[in-house]
Amino acid sequence: MITLYLGSDKTSALEPFEWEIPGIQGSGISPFSVPYGLTIDRDRNSKSVKTIRFEYPSNGPQPPPEEKERELVSGLSIWMSKHVPRITRVVFDPPVFQSGLIAMAGRMESTAETITPTSKRFSHIMIARILKAWSDMIVTAID
């Protein structure tokens, strides 16, 4: 397993925000729902990405209880914490290389528009954007 730490200077530009009244009122993702790190589990034979776990500021010493989401994107299992709507891990089946990681992230972001409540939708968008923006670093780390 390999751990990467995400700097807030890099993730802040990726945070989702929706305007309810353009330029006046809107809503954004909670700072506690922006991961500060991720742990990558790779397939030993092919050096591709199998699982990515996300670390959040308020996780504490134990990972939060989680449950599997319904499959929105074929080949991608998403696990969310039970009590706070944020993604705790994503599992790729089959494992993916960089192009597959970017493609899955794109599909994940496009299907996020159908998700309610807003906090859950924002978590999907945030993770999809991180996977896209950090795909080269994720793949380099497992090589």
Residues in the chain: 143
- What percent of the chain stands above pLDDT 70? 96
Per 3-state DSSP, what percentage of the chain is helix, strand, and coil (rounded to 5)? 35, 35, 30
SS3 at position 36: coil
pLDDT tens for 114-142 read 998 899 999 999 999 999 999 988 888 87
SS3 at position 105: helix
140 CB contacts (<8 Å, ≥6 apart)?
none
Quickly state the pLDDT bin for 40 (edges 50, 70, 90).
Answer: very high
pLDDT tens for 59-91 read 666 667 888 887 778 899 999 988 888 999 999
- What percent of the chain stands above pLDDT 90? 40
Whether pLDDT at 19 is above 80: no
Residue for token pair 């309610």: 116
The predicted pLDDT at position 61 comes to 60
Which among 1-10, 38-47, 64-73, 121-130 has the top mean pLDDT?
A: 121-130
- Residue whose C-alpha is closest to residue 41's, from 136, 124, 142: 142
